Structure 1
Amino acid sequence: MQDLLGVIDPAMVGFMFATTAFPGPNAVLMLSVGSRYGVRAGLPVLLGFGIGNAAAKGVTAAGMRWVASLDPMVIEVAQWIAIVFLAWFTIRILRRKAPLQAKGGAVTGKARSRPGQVVDGIGFQFCNPKVWVTGFAAAAIFCTPDVNEVGHAMSFAAVAFPCVLVGAGIWLVVGQQGARWLTAPMIVRGLDLMLVGLLALAAVPILFL
């Protein structure tokens, strides 16, 4: 338990949530399921998202910690790569002009013909490149030599699971509601700035600690 709590901190939670809530493959699929079938029908896929994402994040964190045990310089190099990723991701958020929207029961982007089950959600996470890229960035920032591989896997999975359920779940609900919540430009910009703030918080351990 000490290993688990030793890695988890507010910045890590903020990073996980920000990268999950920002529009991507998960958001498109959740919008599609929500607009076509409703929230209840999409819950199995959402649960699969949480399980698959948590597993991927845990594997990435454990792998990063193991490599770092062979050469501590790996973490330092990976952290600066993560800083570049955070800068790119922040710019992408600030330059976003409009959110994904569901209109007339259809969703812009690729959609599925059926809601899917838990296993479909799990498989989708392992095939989603954004999951692995953000997992690498999180591991580079938040891995610590004081915690072993198992501790890292448990802590990253424990944080990723609820963050994905909330972040992707928002898009599922928005899909059912016809995206009415995200039509006001001021609301969209406010949400974007909140995500940018969470990402900036995640960079603090590298730049100032």
Structure 2
Amino acid sequence: MSFDPLYAFVIAGLFSPGPNVILLTTSGARFGFRRTLPHVLGVAFGVGITSALTGYGIGALLLAQPALTFTLKCLAAAWILWMAWKLFRSTRGPRAQGRDRPFTFVEAVLFQWVNPKIWAIAMAASSGYAIGLPPAQEALRLGTAFSGINLFVCLFWTFAGSLLAVLMTRPLWWRGFMSVMALALAASAVMVFL
């Protein structure tokens, strides 16, 4: 049995910084590893669904409908900018205060539907690494590859964030970290349109 090059592509695509990586690292730092686990599981599940849909040809439909694609890009950019603003305003301290909380499982799943990085990677994978299976089998192949690999990617970044919280004992360092993460998230909103 040979190694499927799809896996290497998915690892490289999902491990690199993007909205999920930024949000999970920040959530791990703010709320801790355990409290961020529903967010982690929601991302892995949502990424699996999104990538499976591209195996059914949804990605091609989006590319064929420029108005729909532009609308989804605007929604994605607005949501990402809103999250970046919330993140920027949360520089009060390393631990969550008041009504702050990590993403729920459902919120994390729903975010994948407007996450431009996931759609781009999934569409590239479905067009560049398809192996000629019927659509249902191709969707299952993509969904399980993305979901399984992304689970480990999400666990890594969440754990890294929880370790960063231990290192950032000074309020100035914490504010700097949160500001950089908020700016990186805002920059990913601009990338939606490129």
- Identity among equivalent positions (%) equals 10
In 1: Cα distance, 2:112 partner to 2:92 partner: 20
Q: Does 1:2 align with 2:21?
A: no
1:1-209 alignment, distance < 5 Å: 1-7=4-10, 9-10=12-13, 13-15=16-18, 16-21=20-25, 27=27, 31=31, 34=32, 42=34, 50-68=40-58, 72-77=60-65, 79-92=69-82, 93-94=84-85, 96-99=88-91, 101=93, 107-109=97-99, 125=105, 128-138=106-116, 139-144=118-123, 145-146=126-127, 147=130, 148-169=138-159, 172-173=162-163, 177=166, 180=169, 183-184=172-173, 185-198=175-188, 200=190, 203=192, 207=194
**Conservation of the 8 A alpha-carbon contact between 2:44 and 2:150:** yes
Shift of 1:17: 0.8
In 2: Cα distance, 1:159 partner to 1:181 partner: 35
**Pair 1:132–1:81, CA change in 2 (3 A):** same
**Pair 1:160–1:79, CA change in 2 (3 A):** farther
**Conservation of the 8 A alpha-carbon contact between 1:61 and 1:153:** yes
Shift of 1:84: 1.6
**Conservation of the 8 A alpha-carbon contact between 2:45 and 2:147:** yes
CA RMSD of aligned residues (A): 4.1
**Conservation of the 8 A alpha-carbon contact between 1:94 and 1:192:** yes
Shift of 1:189: 2.0
**Pair 1:60–1:152, CA change in 2 (3 A):** same
In 2: Cα distance, 1:21 partner to 1:81 partner: 28
Shift of 1:62: 0.5
In 2: Cα distance, 1:130 partner to 1:51 partner: 8
In 1: Cα distance, 2:70 partner to 2:11 partner: 20
Aligned length: 172
**Pair 1:153–1:137, CA change in 2 (3 A):** same
SS in 2 for 1:109: coil
Shift of 1:58: 0.7
Name the TM-score, length of structure 2 as normaliser: 0.60
In 2: Cα distance, 1:48 partner to 1:75 partner: 32
Unaligned runs of 5+ in 2: 131-137
